[in-house]
Structure 1
Amino acid sequence: MEANGTIGVIGVGEIAKAIVEGLCENATAAPGFALSPRGAANAADLARRFPTVSVCATNQEVVDRSAVVILAVRHEHREPVLGALDVPADKVVVSAMAGVGFAELRRLLRTGAPLVRAIPLPAVRDRSSVTVVHPGHPAASALFDPLGGTLVLPDEDAFAVYSTLTATISTHLGYLVSLTEWAARQGVSTEDASRYVRSMFRNVGLALGDDTRDLPRLAADHETPGGNNERIRTAWLDHANLTALHEALDDRLDDLR
């Protein structure tokens, strides 16, 4: 693979794996990938499955072989990993590392290369997830447009807001766990309750694809005045609980900024 067509990945965790799978699975012209030895099991699996993917001996080799370098290193490993890299100015660095701003990236990488921050989500694997980026860059658009689209943000403050939103994913799933646990306490089968909750919310989620209705409209269309849905929503999403949620989001946003 030639360097000018290769995407390098340093830190091959689940997000990086999803990006590679999204761009390579059943692709007519899959890009070349140079993967780091970090995340060895995932890297080996991807190299075995896709002919345009290879595993490098070192992180520096990833940089040397690539035109675009994706950083997906765990937060606690950023200092030793990024600090050891020599990144020439003709590379493009796309950081998928949460909570690591441009100032810190510049300090650690000591490079004049263009830097882009991005929030790819696991659904890029299915080419169905919009990826938030800042700033916009042609290399980032080429990377994420095929995976569900690119949403370019104007500044790092806005980027922090979207990063905060991603912190609610496991809360949503935990809500479904809570519903299943409640049903089981009423004496129904946990397995049956889980199957029903999964089916119910999987199909509700399909409505999110209808861009002709905004989110308040979708919510209204799923309830009737005085009905079951409205009674649970107004009882649970009362002022106190909404305030607690917004305060938790504010706290997380402050940390990210």
Structure 2
Amino acid sequence: MQSIGIIGVGEIGRAIVEGLRNGGGASPDVFLSPRGARTAAELSERFEGVHVCADNQEVVDRSEVVIIAVRRQDHHEALAGLKMDDDMTVVNLMAGIATDDLRRTLANGAPIVRAIPLPAVRERRSVTVTCPSHPVVDSLFEQLGGVLPVADEGAFNVFSALTGTLTAHYAYLATLTSWATGHGIAPDAADRYVRGLFQNVGRSLSDETRPLYQLAADHETPKGNNERIRTTWFDPANTAALKKALDGLLVDLQ
């Protein structure tokens, strides 16, 4: 693959470009849409072989693979009237836009692959879910941290819903620091300690020999502090509320 186009240069588009360019070695030319003009211009200035196009049609014309990363509510406007050959490969990053929906908008027979790259692709350490498996697209995301192909959009939407929990995790950590501050701990000390605490937890996730429930058990002492918080705060009602929220999001994504 010699060239990649990105229509919609937001946080994920930026992360993909940075991941491709920060890994060393040869990487394809990248053609960016003027949408997200400030980010596109900054990336073009930082990296050789990254170009800002005049419009979305130029992105398509100069690329072998086109990544569509606009907000789903904007995709009709952004893609209307685009002309692309059936041998183009399209990567759809828009949550909630099914393959059939996008095909109707594009009105062509080009293969469409859905994908869920996360910001950590910039460091090449994020597994990207794809649907369906496609050799070119899977190879692209394999070099950005790994790829997890799934066969159908039902399974893909479940993974998409899981990504909706990320900011809840950050808010959870912020609540911990706020609680500590309320008990007299300096905000910077509370922030530093919570970050360090959960960075260590994150590193333990790299041990794939232990399932997640086992990691939880291994970090608990019977009747200890961790068990007390888990069983009193993350109780069956709290668990049910989380699953209900995910079920609602999944319905919207479908």
**Per the shorter chain, which TM-score range?**
over 0.9
Runs of 4+ with >2 A deviation: none
Alignment-derived partner of residue 94 in structure 2 = 97
Is 2:180 the partner of 1:150?
Answer: no
Residue deviations 1:200-219, cap 9 Å, x none? 10111000011111111111
How much is the aligned-residue C-alpha RMSD, in angstroms? 0.9
- Aligned mate of 1:125, from 122, 125, 148: 122
Q: Which of 70, 73, 81 is 2:78 aligned to?
A: 81
1: distance between equivalents of 2:245 and 2:201?
26
Alignment of 1:101-116 (within 5 A): 101-116=98-113
CA distance in 1, matches of 2:99, 2:23: 35
Equivalent-residue separation in structure 1 for 2:65 and 2:48 (angstroms): 19
Normalising to structure 2: TM-score of the pair? 0.98
Distance, in Å, in 2 between the alignment partners of 1:168 and 1:5 is 35
Which residue number corresponds to residue 34 of structure 1?
31
* Partner SS, residue 196 of structure 2: helix
TM-score (structure 1 length as normaliser): 0.97
Alpha carbons 1:34, 1:62 under 8 Å: kept = yes
Q: Does 1:220 align with 2:217?
A: yes
Contact 1:24 1:31 in 2 (8 A): no
3-state SS, counterpart of residue 194 of structure 1? helix
Identify the residue that residue 12 of structure 1 maps to in structure 2: 9
Which of the residues 2, 21, 25 maps onto 1:24? Answer: 21
1:250 maps onto 2:247 in alignment: yes
CA-to-aligned-CA distance 1:198-245 (integer Å, 9 cap, x gap): 111011100001111111111111111100000000111111111111
Partner of 2:156: 159
Over the matched positions of the two proteins, sequence identity in percent amounts to 56
Q: Which residue of 1 aligns with 2:41?
A: 44
Letter in 2 for 1:194: D
SS of structure 2 residue aligned to 1:209 = coil
The CA distance in 2 between the partners of 1:120 and 1:28, in whole Å, is 21
**What is the deviation of 1:42?**
1.0
SS in 2 for 1:118: strand
Correspondence for 1:201 among 174, 198, 203: 198
Amino acid at match of 1:7: I
Give the C-alpha shift of residue 141 in structure 1.
1.2
Deviation at 1:148, TM superposition (A): 0.8
Residue 96 of structure 1 aligns to which amino acid in structure 2?
Answer: L
Query: For 2:156, what is the secondary structure of its paired residue?
Result: helix
Shift of 1:84: 2.6
Count of aligned pairs between the two proteins: 254
Deviation per CA, 1:128-174, whole angstroms, max 9, x where unpaired? 00000000101111210001111000100000100000000000010
Shift of the alpha carbon at 1:26? Answer: 4.5
Report deviation, 1:190: 1.2
The corresponding residue for 2:235 is 238
Cα deviation for residue 41 of structure 1 reads 1.1
